Structure 1
Amino acid sequence: MKKLTSIVVDDIPVALEMLCSDIEKYHPEIEIIGKAASVIQAAKLLQKKQPDILFLDIMLGDGTGFDILEIVPNLQSKIIFVTASDAFAIKAFKFAAIDYILKPYSNDDLTNAIEKAKKQIQPNKEQLDVLQEAINNPYSANQKISLHTSEKIIVVQLSEIIRCKSDNNYTTFYLENNQKILVSKTLKYFADMLKENGFLRVHQSHLINIKYIKEFIKSDGGYLMLKDKSNIPVSIRKRNEVIEALNNFN
C-alpha cells in the first residue's frame, strides 16, 4: 500500500513533536515529510512539496494558517485544522462547517480526522472565508454560516435566514428568497450557535430570526406572525422570553 504523505505545522515545539509522534506511532500509513513552526517555514516547505495531508495549526507566532493558504494558493493537500481549546475558534469552525481537531485531542479524534481527510472534499473558498473572517474578528458577530446538505455546501448570510424548523435530527432553513435548505443537524445545534446572532428559540420545533417578526398574537396560546406571512407557535415556557426579546428589540 502506498503511504500517504503529510506535513505538520505548529508553532509550539512540544505540540508539534507530540502530534508527529502520535501520527508515526498510531498511523504508520502516513509518512511525515516535513515540519514547520511558522508561516514562513510552512510556506517555503509547501512551495517545494505538497503532502497528501496538511496538519495546520490556526494561530501561529508570525500569523495564521490562512496566511499560508494565501501564500500557496494552489495547495492541493487535504487540510486537518488543529486548534487550541478556544471558544471563539470553536464557534468559528462551527459557523464555517469545517472539521477540526481540538487540543488536547484523543487518539480517536486524530483517527477520525484522518479518516475524514482521506474521504473529504476540500472546504471551498467560501467556507474558508467564513472561517477566516470569524477567526480574524472574534468579537464581531458572524455574518455568514455554511450549511451542509446531502448534495453540497451552501454559504448563506444570517440576515437572509427567516426561521429554522426541526424535523427530528434534521433542520430546515427558510430563507428570504423562498429557498429551503435541509441540513442533517438538530435544531438545538443551531439554536446554541445562533443565540447571540439575533435568533430566538420560541418552541421545541422553531428557531426564529427576531428581525422577521411582524406581530406576537397573544390569543390561542400565543403565536408569532412573521414577515413572510408564516405563523409560528410560541410555547408557554418561551412566552415571557419572546415578550422580553421584542421589548428589547432595536
Structure 2
Amino acid sequence: MKTKRVLIIDDEVDARRVISKYLERYFPNFQVLGEADSFKSAVQLINETEADLIFIDINLGDGTGFDVLDESDAFAAQIIFTTAFDQYAVKAFRYQALDYLMKPIDSELFVEAVNQALDKVRERRSMSEDQILISYGNGERKISIPTADGMCFVRLDSIVSFEADSSYCKIFLDDGKEILVSKPLKFFDDKLRANVNFIRPHKSFIVNMKFVDEYLKEEGGYIKMKNGLKIPISRQKKEDVIRELQIHFL
C-alpha cells in the first residue's frame, strides 16, 4: 500500500497524541507530515504540504477548523473533524467532511473513518485524466463537470473563470450561464495546471486568459474580464500573473 500523508490539527497536545497513537497502531504505513495547534500554523502547514488526510479540531485557540479550510488549499485532502462538541456536525458535512469524530475518540470509529478515507483516496487517484478532460475528433477540448444528475461536458474555451465558494465552485461561461459544482477550486486547478490558457491570480479564482479584457493597477491590482467580472490579484502572485499575461498577449 502506498504511504498516505496525514496532517493533525488540534490545539490540545493530548488530542494530537491520541491520533498519532492510533495511526501508529492501526495504520503504521501512514506518514504524519506535520502537526499544528492554531489557525495560523494550520493554514501555513496545509498550504506547504500535500496531504491525503487531515484530522482537524473545530475549536482552535485563535479560530476554528472551518476558518482554516476557508483560508487554505485543503480541498484535495479527505477531512475528518474531531471535536468535543456535537453542535457542529451539520456544518462539518457542509464542508464535505468525510467524518466527524467526537472526543474522546473511540478507536473503532477512528479505524472506520480512516478506512473510508482510504477508499476515497483510492477512488480519486484511480480517475484517469480522460475522465476529466476529453478530446473530440474535431479537436474541441472539453472538461467534465460533476452534476447532481451525473456530469455535463463543457468546452474549455467557453469557460471565462472559476470562483471558489466555500467547498463548492462557481463556473462562469461566455454565454452568461453559471454552474455551481460540489467540487473545490483546487480540483479544477489540478486538472488545468498544464493548460497555458488558465491562470490562478488569487486563491479564490482561476481565469481563462482568452477572456481577459485588461489589467488595472488600482485596488491593489485586478483583472477585468470581458463579461465585466473583476478578478483580484493576490500580492504574492502579481509578478507571475503580469508575466503570464504579457507572454499570452505578446
TM-score by length of 2: 0.45
Q: Which has the larger radius of gyration?
A: 1
TM-score by length of 1: 0.45
